[in-house]
Amino acid sequence: MIKLEHLSKSFTDGASEIHALHDVSLEIGPGQIFGVVGASGAGKSTLIRCVNRLETPDCGRVWVDDEEITALEGKDLRRARRKIGMIFQQFNLLSQRTASENIAYPLELAGVQKTEREKRVRELLSLVGLEEKARAYPAQLSGGQKQRVGIARALANNPKVLLSDEATSALDPGTTESILSLLKDLNQRLGLTILLITHQMEVVKNICDHAGLLEDGRLVESGAISDLIADPSSRLSRAFFPPPAGLRADALAVQAVITFLGDAAEKPILAGLVRQFDVDVNILGGNIQQIGGKRVGQLQVEFKGGQTQAALAYLRDLGLRVEVYQ
Ligand SMILES: Nc1ncnc2c1ncn2[C@@H]1O[C@H](COP(=O)(O)OP(=O)(O)OP(=O)(O)O)[C@@H](O)[C@H]1O
Ligand SMILES: [Mg+2]
């Protein structure tokens, strides 16, 4: 649904040149929710703005729904942009217009007739659960309600793709949660493909099925969340699982976090381990969370005994993610 091929973009800032994007290639399939994370200045906004051509790359190509966005200008570009909605951290609503009038705005630009427009606005208000606020002005709405208006406006022309640049960063945790579940719901009900930028790992864990890490304009990691979790060298997945508090070095014991994906969570692996290797296993803690729609279990354990290293190697051979804290 979205394809970026060898995208580069530089800005000149006085005498110096800033490489905001450097040879970024990426494919996002229909119906995916793809999260882009990275430090401030990594090039996230530039990347997303290249997708709807708010920014034009220096080189490389962008396709959305089989149409090459980078080859279009003028009227053709405006038409293609209707397939791409966008939401923002600061909502970007028109303060002189009511919620309904904000949502109607892109329909007016697209030349939709008044009765059809009013019908569509009613549908959109109900889609985002904001029927009661139709006549309210932005100043009379909460942050979460403003973002719902932003989402309805972004969806007015039935886009196939929604771009989100830190859409939940200005919201409190509860409101963030409700906006994320609305996005997930829209993704499932409308088959909407979502490309979102966030600095909150919780957002990626909560709704994304794919993710990528941008660093100094380069895409240094990307893939399905389940593949990233299974790969112990993945920096993104290390960020999903910050080291648990309370694990500490001990001369006699090795403390480790074992991560189980999907079915592996059901198997009695530790019992087999104790039988097969001469080790003592103490369970210090554990949890099961949903990440990228998958069940992921984690156990914090302490191993004591001569064959600890062999036992850890055995767990890794089973395909489990094992992180040792010594
Ligand atoms: N219009 C511009 N003119 C000059 N430099 C720019 C412009 N837009 C972006 N940059 C620079 O390009 C780099 C990438 O910026 P970008 O806004 O894409 O980062 P970001 O990852 O979105 O950061 P943040 O998390 O702070 O929003 C930064 O060094 C930024 O200063
Ligand atoms: Mg940004």
* Of residues 128, 121, 135, 172, the one with CA closest to residue 151: 128
* C-alpha span between 203 and 188 (Å, rounded): 17
Say if residue 178's pLDDT is above 90.
yes
Quote the ligand 1 centre to 44 CA distance (angstroms). 8
Contact 323, 256 (CB under 8 A): yes
In three-state secondary structure terms, 141 is: coil
* C-alpha span between 249 and 325 (Å, rounded): 7
Say if residue 250's pLDDT is above 90.
no
Q: Which atom of ligand 1 is nearest to the CA of 49?
A: 18
Give 253's strand partners.
Answer: 304
Quote the ligand 2 centre to 100 CA distance (angstroms). 28
Q: Which atom of ligand 1 is nearest to the CA of 38?
A: 21
pLDDT the model gives residue 271: 78
Quick one: pLDDT band at residue 182, thresholds 50, 70, 90?
very high
Beta pairing class for 193-197 and 59-64: unpaired
- Structurally, the chain folds into a number of domains equal to 2
295 and 209 part of one domain: no
Taking only the tens place, the pLDDT of each residue in 258-274 is 888 766 655 677 777 88
pLDDT the model gives residue 217: 96
193 and 95 part of one domain: yes
Q: What is the DSSP letter of 94?
A: -
- Domain end marker among 237, 255, 279: 237
Taking only the tens place, the pLDDT of each residue in 210-225 is 999 999 999 999 999 9
Residue 294 burial (CB < 10 Å; 0-12/13-18/19+)?
middle
Quick one: pLDDT band at residue 288, thresholds 50, 70, 90?
confident
Among 28-37, 239-248, 272-281, name the one with the lowest average pLDDT.
239-248
* C-alpha span between 37 and 239 (Å, rounded): 11
Looking at residues 274-298, what average pLDDT do you find? 84
66 and 183 part of one domain: yes
pLDDT the model gives residue 267: 62
Most confident stretch, 124-133, 255-264, 315-324? 124-133
- Residue 59 sits in a domain whose CATH number is 3.40.50.300
Alpha carbons within 13 A on the beta-carbon side of 168: 24
Quote the ligand 2 centre to 298 CA distance (angstroms). 33
Q: What is the DSSP letter of 4?
A: E
- Domain end marker among 237, 259, 293: 237
Mutation test residue for ligand 1: of 40, 46, 86, 163, the one with most atoms within 8 Å of CB: 46
Residue nearest to atom 30 of ligand 1 (CA): 41
pLDDT the model gives residue 46: 97
Domain that holds residue 46: 2-237
* Of residues 32, 38, 56, the one with CA closest to residue 226: 32
Which of residues 292 and 76 earns the better pLDDT score? 76
The DSSP result for 33-93, as a single string, is EEEEE--TTSSHHHHHHHHTTSS--SEEEEEETTEEGGG--HHHHHHHHTTEEEEETT---
Q: Give the environment of ion ligand 2: residues with CB less than 5 A.
A: 45
pLDDT the model gives residue 249: 61
The percentage of residues in the chain with a pLDDT greater than 70, rounded to a whole number, is 96
The ligand 1 site (C-beta within 6 Å) comprises 11, 13, 18, 20, 38, 40-46
98 and 182 part of one domain: yes
Q: Which residues contact 132 (CB under 8 A, 6 or more apart)?
A: none
195 and 159 part of one domain: yes
128 and 273 part of one domain: no
Mutation test residue for ligand 1: of 45, 48, 218, the one with most atoms within 8 Å of CB: 45
pLDDT the model gives residue 237: 84
- Residue 254 sits in a domain whose CATH number is 3.30.70.260
Which of residues 223 and 282 earns the better pLDDT score? 223
203 and 75 part of one domain: yes
Taking only the tens place, the pLDDT of each residue in 12-70 is 988 899 999 999 999 999 999 999 999 999 999 999 999 999 999 999 999 999 999 99
- Domain end marker among 220, 237, 254: 237
211 and 318 part of one domain: no
pLDDT the model gives residue 140: 97
254 and 225 part of one domain: no
pLDDT the model gives residue 240: 82
Among 149-163, 213-227, 241-255, name the one with the lowest average pLDDT.
241-255
pLDDT the model gives residue 248: 66
Contact 220, 188 (CB under 8 A): no
**In the predicted model, what is the mean pLDDT of the chain?**
91
Q: Kindly identify the ligand whose nearest atom is closest to the C-alpha of 16.
A: 1
152 and 7 part of one domain: yes
Residue nearest to atom 31 of ligand 1 (CA): 41
Helix axes 308-317, 269-276, angle to 10 degrees: 140
pLDDT the model gives residue 262: 66
124 and 224 part of one domain: yes
139 and 168 part of one domain: yes
* Of residues 156, 170, 149, the one with CA closest to residue 95: 149
What's this model's pTM, rounded to 2 decimal places? 0.89
